[in-house]
Amino acid sequence: MNCSVIGATGYTGIELIKILVKHPNVQISQLTTRQSESISVRTLIPSLSKDIDLKIETYDFNKVKNTSDIIFVCLPHTEAMHCVKEFHDAGKIIIDLSADYRLKKASLYPVWYKTKHAYPKLLKKAIYGLTEINRDLIKKADLIANPGCYPTGAALGLIPLLKNGLVYQDDIVIDSKSGVSGAGKKLTTATQFAELDENFYAYKVNQHQHSPEITQMLETVSGEKVSLTFVPHLLPINRGILSVMYLKMRPGVTEKQIENAFKQCYEKEPFIRVKPQEQFPELRHVQYTNFCDIGFVADKKTGRVIVITAIDNLMKGASGQAIQNMNVRCGFAEEEGLI
C-alpha cells in the first residue's frame, strides 16, 4: 500500500512519519506541506536513522492522487474539509486527523468551529474512527474521521458503563489534563516555555470544541440524550492526557458489574489495559505508546463511580489511532507498527 501525509510538518504529521517509516506493510509515497520550500525529513525529525532519505514537498494534488492509496490528512480544522472532499472524489481511502468530518450534524460546525460545513452529504458518510467501538465499520470505510484526543480518552472510559446502562447518562463530569503538544505547533504566548513552566490551569471551561464530539459518541452508544460537563487543563509536560470522569451509578449497580463491563468490552483489545482494583493510570505508562489505560473505583457511600483514563495525545489520541485505523481498514495486523 502507498500512503501519503498531507500537512506533514505538524506534531501529528511527524508522529505519523515516525511510525510509517518502520511499518512493514506500507510505502510512503508523498509527504506534503503548504510551505513553498521542501524540507528533509531528517531535518524535521532528527531522531530518525541516518539513512532515511525522504523529503516533505509543497502540496501538489495530482502528485498525491497519482501515487497514493491511503491519504492521512493532518491539516488544521476547516482547512482539511476541502482537501478530504477532493481525494474522496478521486476514490482514495482517507484518514482525516482534523475535526472536519467528526460531527454528524453539520449545524454544529458554525457553533463550535466558526465555519459552515461545505459538504454535509460527505459528513454523513464519514466513519468515526474510535477503533475499539467502530472496528467493523472502519473495515469498509473510505473516509475515516479520526477522533480528537480528549474524546478518545473520555469515550473509552465511559462507553462500557453507558452501553450497559450502569450510570446516569445525564450526570457526567469529565475533568481532563493534557500535555502541551495537543495545542499544536502554532506560536502562542500561552505555550511559551516561560509562561507554562511550573504553571497549571483550566482553560475553555465548559466551552471546549471537543464537547459535542464526546456527547455525540456517548449518545450513539447509550441511545439517550447525554448531558456532560467538560473541563480541560493544560499540564506543563509535553505529552499525555489524563481524564477523570465522575459518574452516578444507577440504583442497585454493584462494583462487580462495573468491573465486568470493562472486562467484557476490553479484555481482547490489544491497546486497552484495565487496571486491577486500587491501581490507577499514570501518564508515564502510556507516553509514546498507543495504549489507553483505565482505572476505576465505585464508592457506595456517595453512589459515585470514578473512572480514570490515560493516553498519549499524539498516539492513541491522534496518529497512533490513525495507524490502528489504517491497519484495520487494510487488513493488516492491528498492532503492526504500534508495538
**111: contact with a copy of itself by CB under 8 A:** no
- Residues from 204 through 223 that contact a copy of itself (CB under 8 A): 205-206
Q: Which three cell numbers stand for residue 280?
A: 490507577
Dihedral angle over CA of 158, 161, 162, 168, nearest 10: -100
Residue 110: strand, helix, or coil: helix
Question: Where are the alpha helices (H) located in 126-183, listed in sequence order?
Answer: 131-138, 149-163
* Cβ distance to a copy of itself smaller for residue 93 or 274: 274
Q: Are strands 39-40 and 55-58 parallel, antiparallel or unpaired?
A: antiparallel
Among 107, 115, 227, 277, binds a copy of itself (CB under 8 A): 227
Among 138, 249, 310, 323, binds a copy of itself (CB under 8 A): 310
**289: contact with a copy of itself by CB under 8 A:** yes
246-274 in b/e form (b: 16+ CB < 10 A) is bbbbeeebeeeebbebbeebbeebbbbbb
**172, 230 contact by CB (below 8 A):** no
Q: In what order do the strands lie in the sheet with 143-145?
A: 39-40, 55-58, 27-33, 2-6, 70-73, 93-96, 143-145, 127-128
Site string for a copy of itself, 54-93 (x = CB under 8 A): ----------------------------------------
* Cβ distance to a copy of itself smaller for residue 112 or 119: 112
Cβ within 8 Å of residue 200, ≥6 positions away = 233, 234, 235, 236
**199: contact with a copy of itself by CB under 8 A:** yes
The DSSP letter of residue 289 is S
Q: Closest Cα to residue 57, out of 22, 27, 31?
A: 31
The β-bridge partners of 273 are 293
String of DSSP letters for 48-91:
S-TT---EEEE--HHHHHHH-SEEEE-PPTTTHHHHHHHHHHTT
- Residues from 117 through 176 that contact a copy of itself (CB under 8 A): 173, 175
Among 79, 257, 270, 330, binds a copy of itself (CB under 8 A): 270
Among 8, 11, 159, 336, binds a copy of itself (CB under 8 A): 11
- Residues from 231 through 250 that contact a copy of itself (CB under 8 A): 231, 233, 235-240, 242, 244, 246
* Cβ distance to a copy of itself smaller for residue 71 or 180: 180
**188: contact with a copy of itself by CB under 8 A:** yes
**277: contact with a copy of itself by CB under 8 A:** no
H-helix or E-strand spanning residue 120: helix 120-125
**10: contact with a copy of itself by CB under 8 A:** no
Indicate if 330 belongs to the active site.
no
**301: contact with a copy of itself by CB under 8 A:** yes
* Cβ distance to a copy of itself smaller for residue 145 or 226: 226
Among 108, 308, 323, 328, binds a copy of itself (CB under 8 A): 308
* Cβ distance to a copy of itself smaller for residue 140 or 301: 301
Among 124, 185, 225, 263, binds a copy of itself (CB under 8 A): 185
- Spot the catalytic one: 3, 74, 149, 292: 149
Q: Which three cell numbers stand for residue 118?
A: 461545505
String of DSSP letters for 316-327:
IIIIHHHHHHHH
Q: Which three cell numbers stand for residue 128?
A: 468515526
Active site residues: 149
> Which residues lie near a copy of itself (CB under 8 A)?
11, 46-47, 49-50, 173, 175, 177, 180-181, 183, 185, 187-189, 191-203, 205-206, 227-229, 231, 233, 235-240, 242, 244, 246, 270, 273, 280-289, 291, 293, 295, 297, 299, 301-302, 304, 306, 308, 310, 335, 339
